[in-house]
Structure formats: C-alpha cells, structure tokens
C-alpha cells in the first residue's frame, strides 16, 4: 500500500511542474481566444457612443467581413504570402543545413544565421535601403545589366507583397536552418558509408534516406514557419503600411488597424477567430500531409 502511495505521489510531480506554464497559456492564450470568440458576435466600437457597450449582432461581423472586397483581398494576400514563403524558406533552410554540415563550410554558419538575430524592425529598415527606387542596392544591381529606370519595389502593387516575402525569407531561412542542422548531424554516418559502398549517389541517398529521416524535423519547421508567416506585421508597418491599395496588407496588420486605429472591438474579434481557424487549417493539413507516408524512424 505504501509503495502504491509513493508511486502516485511521484506521478503527480510532472503535472505540478507544468502548472506555471499552463497558467500562462490559459491566461494569455485560452482566455483571450474565448473572449474573442464571444466578442465576435457583438457590435462593439469604442469610438461610437451608441456601441461603446456591446450589442449582440449574431454573425453580422463575419458577414460584413466576407462581403468586403478589402477583406477578401487581404485574405488572398495572406494566403499567397504563406503558400509562397513557407515552402521556399523550408527548402532553403534544408539546403543550408546540408551544405553547412560539411566540415569545410562550417565557417559560413554565422553568416547564414546572422539575419535571424536581428530585430524585425531593424531587418525591415535595412531592406528599405535595398528597395529605395533611386539609389537602392537592387536597382543599382539591375543597372549593371542594362536596366533603365528605377523600380519602386514597395510602391508597385504587383511587387510590394513579394518584397515582404524576400525580407522574411532572408530573415527566417537561417533560423530554421538550425533545426535542420541539428537533425542532419544526428543522422547515422555508417548508413551513408553503406550507401556509398553500394553505389548510391547523393540524390538517391537524399531522397531515400536523408529526407525520410528528417520528416519529423520538417513537420516541426513547417508548422513553426506557417505560424510565423501568419504573424508577420513588423515588415508591413515599416515598409508598406499595407499599400499601395492594400496590395501588401496582411491579416494581422489589418487586425491591428481595425482594433487600434478604428477601435472596432467586435470586428477585430471576428478577424482573430478567422486568423486562428486559418492557422488550424494550415497546421492540420501540414500534419496530415507529413504523416500520409507512414511513420519513419
């Protein structure tokens, strides 16, 4: 009986250890999410006396959003941004990890990782100089190849969103590389030797051995990358402010505008729920696609 009591006491320790983290998760994640879900069914505008107190409106906030051409454009911008940025960044980070895992290239690790330690606002400010129409680095390089006339990267509706993609790729690829680098360095080296003896080339070794064994790492990296892409707001504020004509506005930036500029609490709550649902859809889809081929060691 005493042994059973001891076992029960010991088994409760892990739960006690996670209590502080659980408290903060509930306080800063679960509670705000529940409050946003509830608030999305009310008209609540702090700058209009009539609606300073919440007024129940059902699904009116959601209906208003999806009927808005502005919101549909911003939603499309966000999806395009995530769908382009995440695969390109993940593939590049894996390539960097494979490259820098070799002994003779290890000295370049700091150079590739360095953008990841820069503050987001600082990174956007650096790239603001690169994108400057008259004397920016990009236009200067294009001039070397005979291109005439400065290109306004952040002022062109067709290019502003892709300018944000370039910045985020530059900043994030080195960060995700660290996770892949840890995975690559833990792969069994004797298997590579066996594959080499058997005559398997680097392409066969990569697709038949390296990539399957890094599947768990890829699942983690892509999930974090998707969440990070949806959270992009600093670059938008510094470089484009969502312009021109909302061509570079993303969902989180629009949420910030609605809540803190327009003081529309009800509508911003509805945008929050839509953002969370999009994150869940992308994350669950990523998990299902990654697990489709079965478990790998």
Per-residue pLDDT band for 64 (boundaries 50, 70, 90) equals very high
What's the pTM? 0.85
pLDDT of residue 177: 92
What single string gives the DSSP state of each residue in 139-203? HHHHHHTT--S---TTT-TTTHHHHHHHHHHHHHHHHHHHHHHHHHHTS-HHHHHHHHHTT--HH
pLDDT of residue 2: 53
Per-residue pLDDT band for 297 (boundaries 50, 70, 90) equals very low
How far, in Å, CA of 97 to CA of 100, rounded?
5
Q: Tens digit of pLDDT for each residue in 84-123?
A: 999 999 999 999 998 888 878 888 888 888 888 888 888 8
* CATH classification number, 68-291, choose in 1.10.10.10, 1.10.3720.10, 3.90.1580.10, 1.20.5.510: 1.10.3720.10
Q: Tens digit of pLDDT for each residue in 202-232?
A: 787 788 888 888 888 888 999 999 999 998 8
Q: What is the mean pLDDT of residues 249-267?
A: 91
How far, in Å, CA of 211 to CA of 269, rounded?
40
Contact 233, 256 (CB under 8 A): yes
Domain residue limits, the chain = 68-291
């Amino acid at each position: 009986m005493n042994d059973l009591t001891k076992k029960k006491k010991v088994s409760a320790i892990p739960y006690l250890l996670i209590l502080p983290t659980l408290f903060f998760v509930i306080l800063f994640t679960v509670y705000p999410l529940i409050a946003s879900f509830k608030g999305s069914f009310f008209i609540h505008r702090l700058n209009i006396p009539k609606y300073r107190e919440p007024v129940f409106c059902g699904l009116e906030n959601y209906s208003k959003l999806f009927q808005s051409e502005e919101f549909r454009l911003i939603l499309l911008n966000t999806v395009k941004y995530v769908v382009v940025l995440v695969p390109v960044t993940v593939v590049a980070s894996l390539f960097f990890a494979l490259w820098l895992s070799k002994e003779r290239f290890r000295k370049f690790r700091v150079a590739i990782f360095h953008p990841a330690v820069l503050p987001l606002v600082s990174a956007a400010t650096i790239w603001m100089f690169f994108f400057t129409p008259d004397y920016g680095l990009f236009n200067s390089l294009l001039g070397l190849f005979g291109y005439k006339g400065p290109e306004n990267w952040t002022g062109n509706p067709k290019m502003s969103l892709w300018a944000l993609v370039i910045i985020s790729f530059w900043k994030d690829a080195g960060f995700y590389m660290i996770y892949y680098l840890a995975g690559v360095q833990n792969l069994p080296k004797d298997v590579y030797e066996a594959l080499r003896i058997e005559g398997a080339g680097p392409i066969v070794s990569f697709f038949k051995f390296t990539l399957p064994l890094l599947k768990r790492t890829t699942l983690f990296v892509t999930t974090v990358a998707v969440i990070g892409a949806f959270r992009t707001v600093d670059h938008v504020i510094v470089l484009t402010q969502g312009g021109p004509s909302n061509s570079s506005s993303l969902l989180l930036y629009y949420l910030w505008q609605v809540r803190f500029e327009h003081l529309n609490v009800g509508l911003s709550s509805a945008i929050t729920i839509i953002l969370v649902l999009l994150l869940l859809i992308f994350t669950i889809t990523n998990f299902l696609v990654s697990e489709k081929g079965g478990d790998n060691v």
